[in-house]
């Protein structure tokens, strides 16, 4: 077992969750999507004595219209749900635009909106987006109920104003002003990789076409996503000409940011990226504001969607922790009943408890994709989910994709196009691609490449795999 032992609590209501965190205090960590916390636990960088799993708290999963014309997002809403929600597209299109940049569909299918914000990772996308959109954060505990602004909520790298007994319950994004435009631009080494720099911009124009609002915030530039105040100041009251935008980008790069250096980029390179990406983002945002934006501007992501919250018919435990939890889970159509220690990963459960060794394990921190399985029909990383969380859910592994007599069209195409290069990564590719082709039966080559960008081929290359996906798509349409 990779993570250190911990007590596990799975409250079913917010009141129970408040009770859990109040009792456990600093010894507990809240478990949302687990896409940042579980990798840290797998490496034993984090060893919380207890986890309070919010995945059964149905009250925290929603996207709602706010009466002021904005939108409110429940903390546990999966990023893939936010990505595809029509209300988000209409009322907070910057959020929809940034979502496809957050890792890969497998991570977004589990990761949550509130978890990304509460994690306060300087390289996280959503803190910067929430700052650009002037978001507010609803924080609650057994005793307290408060709303914070970004400058109050984000305290430092991986640090927020949340007290140990408090939960982030929702994030409110205000309405966009009339004649608004928005844009997100980033530089990263590959699709889904951490942004070396990301720039988010929201601008609006008055009736004479002059800038009356500019909010700009960055990913991976500082400890917290500070808005670019000097850049905004240079734009206010100005007609957004090329020169005015250039001046704002210069102010951003020289006065607003003080980027650090790491293995991904030097400080100078980051400053250069701030200048370039700010110019690009502001140019696009003002163009959209001038012509009146269309939701068709949004680059829709190629996969994801849907929700996989707990099945209410299978409550597991609300307020007590057990050494081993009885779980009942359907894998490839067969029901399995077992008792599992909470720290057992779903990948290890599938392999060692069920003997289904087609699911492979590579990195165990969400990067390689070999452990991909379907969780209620959606591709997820089984190394970043605990087996106890699969209670009441439907899992599909590569063994359930086809049979020896009747292979899945993807399996046939992989064989026919010589895409089975090493075999180790293949199950992860197949389980990523099966739901992708269901959602997108006629993908472009670019979409196929993006869909598999979260599955690492370390041996030969992607060409045969891409050819196989094209062939499978063609055959599946007949
Ligand atoms: C390979 C990989 C690549 C990634 N790339 C990106 C990327 O490019 N951009 C990006 O933005 N993210 C990226 N992520 C992170 C991912 O988006 C996570 O989902 C996110 O950062 C954390 O959200 P979560 O719901 O998984 O939270 P968890 O991992 O469950 O929790 C994260 C932290 O927040 C706390 N927390 C969670 N919810 C609450 C709450 N409601 N109240 C109080 N505290 C809470 C937890 O206790 C924990 O400390 C990546 C992750 C992986 C594994
Ligand atoms: S992503 Fe799970 S083992 Fe690499
Ligand atoms: S095909 Fe498996 S690593 Fe390249």
Which two tokens mark 8?
């596990």
pLDDT at 311: 43
Q: Specify whether the CB–CB gap between 148 and 136 falls below 8 A.
A: yes
Q: Specify whether the CB–CB gap between 172 and 134 falls below 8 A.
A: no
* pLDDT, tens only, 318-377: 556 678 899 999 999 999 999 999 999 999 999 999 999 999 999 999 999 999 999 999
Class of domain 7-173: alpha beta
CATH number assigned to the domain covering 322-398: 3.10.20.30
In short, whether 49's Cβ falls inside 6 Å of ligand 3 is no
Compute the mean pLDDT over every residue in the chain, rounded to the nearest whole number.
93
pLDDT at 322: 75
Q: Could you give the CA distance from residue 131 to residue 218 in angstroms, rounded to a whole number?
A: 9
Q: Could you give the CA distance from residue 305 to residue 296 in angstroms, rounded to a whole number?
A: 18
HSE-up (13 A, CA, CB side) for residue 153: 29
Question: At 136, phi and psi to the nearest 5?
Answer: -125, 150
- Measured from the Cα of 458, ligand 3's closest atom is 3
pLDDT at 316: 58
**Cα–Cα nearest to 273, from 284, 260, 285:** 260
Task: Find the helix packing angle between 463-477 and 426-439, rounded to 10°.
Answer: 40
In the reported structure, the alpha carbon of residue 37 is separated from the centroid of ligand 1 by a whole-number distance in angstroms of: 7
* pLDDT, tens only, 10-50: 999 999 999 999 999 999 999 999 999 999 999 999 999 99
Q: What percent of the chain has pLDDT over 70?
A: 94
* pLDDT, tens only, 139-152: 999 999 999 999 99
- Measured from the Cα of 420, ligand 3's closest atom is 1
**The pLDDT of residue 304 is above 90:** no
Q: Record the pTM.
A: 0.94
pLDDT at 193: 87
In the reported structure, the alpha carbon of residue 359 is separated from the centroid of ligand 2 by a whole-number distance in angstroms of: 10
What does the pLDDT average to over 423-439? 96
**The pLDDT of residue 303 is above 90:** no
DSSP 3-state percent helix, strand, coil across the chain (nearest 5)? 40, 20, 40
What does the pLDDT average to over 453-477? 95
Helix intervals (H) in 292-403 = 346-348
| Topology, domain 180-257+265-294 | Enolase-like; domain 1 (3.30.390)
Binding-site residues, ligand 2, Cβ < 6 A: 361-364, 366-371, 381, 383
- Measured from the Cα of 60, ligand 1's closest atom is 41
Q: Which numbered ligand comes closest to the C-alpha of 18?
A: 1
In the reported structure, the alpha carbon of residue 291 is separated from the centroid of ligand 1 by a whole-number distance in angstroms of: 36
The confidence band for 460, taking pLDDT boundaries of 50, 70 and 90, is confident
Give residue for tokens 């707990």.
310
Question: At 144, phi and psi to the nearest 5?
Answer: -110, 155
Q: Looking at 179-228, which runs of residues are DSSP E strands? A: 180-188, 195-205, 211-219
Binding-site residues, ligand 1, Cβ < 6 A: 29-37, 39, 75, 102-103, 107, 111-112, 114-116, 118-119, 121, 124-126, 162, 167-168, 194, 366-367
Specify the 3-state DSSP secondary structure of 179: coil
Which sequence spans correspond to the domains of the chain? 7-173, 180-257+265-294, 322-398, 401-478
Cα-to-chain-centroid distance, residue 220: 16
The confidence band for 317, taking pLDDT boundaries of 50, 70 and 90, is low
Identify the residue whose C-alpha is closest to ligand 1 atom 32: 119
Q: Could you give the CA distance from residue 141 to residue 166 in angstroms, rounded to a whole number?
A: 4
Q: Could you give the CA distance from residue 410 to residue 469 in angstroms, rounded to a whole number?
A: 7
The structural architecture, per CATH, of the domain 401-478 is Orthogonal Bundle (1.10)
In the reported structure, the alpha carbon of residue 271 is separated from the centroid of ligand 1 by a whole-number distance in angstroms of: 26
**The pLDDT of residue 252 is above 90:** yes
Q: Which helix (H) or strand (E) holds 160?
A: strand 159-160
**The pLDDT of residue 297 is above 50:** no
Task: Find the helix packing angle between 409-416 and 463-477, rounded to 10°.
Answer: 130
Ligand 3, pocket-test mutation among 428, 459, 462, most atoms within 8 A of CB: 459
Point out which residues pair with 215 in neighbouring strands. Answer: 202
Point out which residues pair with 53 in neighbouring strands. Answer: 31
Pick the more confident residue, 185 or 260: 185
């Amino acid at each position: 077992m990779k993570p250190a032992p911990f007590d596990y609590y799975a409250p079913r209501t917010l009141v129970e969750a408040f009770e859990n965190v109040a009792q456990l205090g600093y010894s507990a960590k809240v478990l949302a999507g687990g896409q940042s916390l579980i990798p840290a636990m797998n490496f034993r960088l984090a060893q919380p004595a207890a986890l309070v799993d919010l995945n059964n708290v149905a009250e925290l999963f929603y996207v709602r219209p706010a009466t002021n014309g904005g939108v409110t997002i429940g903390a546990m809403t999966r990023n893939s749900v936010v990505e595809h929600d029509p209300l988000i597209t209409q009322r907070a299109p910057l959020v929809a635009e940034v979502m496809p940049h957050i890792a890969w569909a497998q991570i977004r299918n589990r990761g949550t909106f509130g978890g990304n914000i509460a994690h306060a990772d300087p390289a996280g996308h959503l803190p910067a987006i929430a700052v650009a959109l002037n978001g507010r954060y609803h924080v609650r505990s057994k005793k307290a109920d408060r709303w914070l602004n970004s400058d109050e909520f984000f305290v430092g790298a991986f640090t927020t104003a949340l007290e140990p007994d408090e939960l982030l319950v929702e994030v409110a994004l205000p309405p966009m002003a009339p004649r608004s435009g928005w844009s997100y631009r980033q530089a990263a080494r590959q699709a889904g990789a951490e942004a070396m720099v990301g720039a988010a911009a929201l601008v609006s124009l008055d009736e004479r076409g002059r800038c009356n609002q500019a909010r700009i915030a960055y990913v991976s530039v500082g400890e917290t996503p500070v808005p670019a105040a000097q850049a905004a100041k240079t734009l206010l009251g100005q007609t957004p000409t090329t020169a005015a935008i250039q001046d704002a980008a210069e102010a951003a790069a020289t006065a607003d940011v003080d980027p650090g250096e790491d293995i991904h980029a030097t400080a100078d390179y980051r400053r250069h990226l701030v200048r370039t990406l700010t110019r690009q983002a502001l140019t696009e945002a003002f163009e959209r504001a001038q012509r009146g934006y269309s939701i068709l501007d949004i680059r829709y992501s190629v996969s994801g969607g849907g929700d996989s919250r707990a099945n209410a018919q299978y409550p597991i435990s609300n307020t007590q922790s057990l050494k081993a939890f009885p779980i009942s889970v359907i894998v490839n159509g067969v029901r399995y009943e077992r008792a599992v220690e909470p720290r057992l990963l779903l990948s290890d459960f599938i392999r060692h408890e069920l003997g289904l060794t087609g699911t492979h394990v590579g990195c165990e921190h969400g990067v390689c994709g070999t452990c991909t399985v379907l969780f209620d029909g959606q591709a997820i990383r089984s190394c970043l989910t605990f087996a106890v969380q699969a209670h009441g859910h439907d899992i599909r592994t590569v063994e359930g994709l086809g049979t020896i007599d009747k292979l899945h069209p993807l399996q046939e195409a992989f064989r026919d196009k010589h895409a089975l290069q090493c075999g180790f990564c293949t199950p992860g590719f197949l389980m990523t691609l099966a739901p992708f082709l269901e959602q997108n039966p006629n993908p472009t080559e670019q979409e196929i490449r993006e869909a598999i960008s979260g599955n690492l081929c370390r041996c030969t290359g992607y060409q045969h795999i891409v050819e196989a996906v094209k062939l499978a798509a063609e055959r599946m349409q007949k």
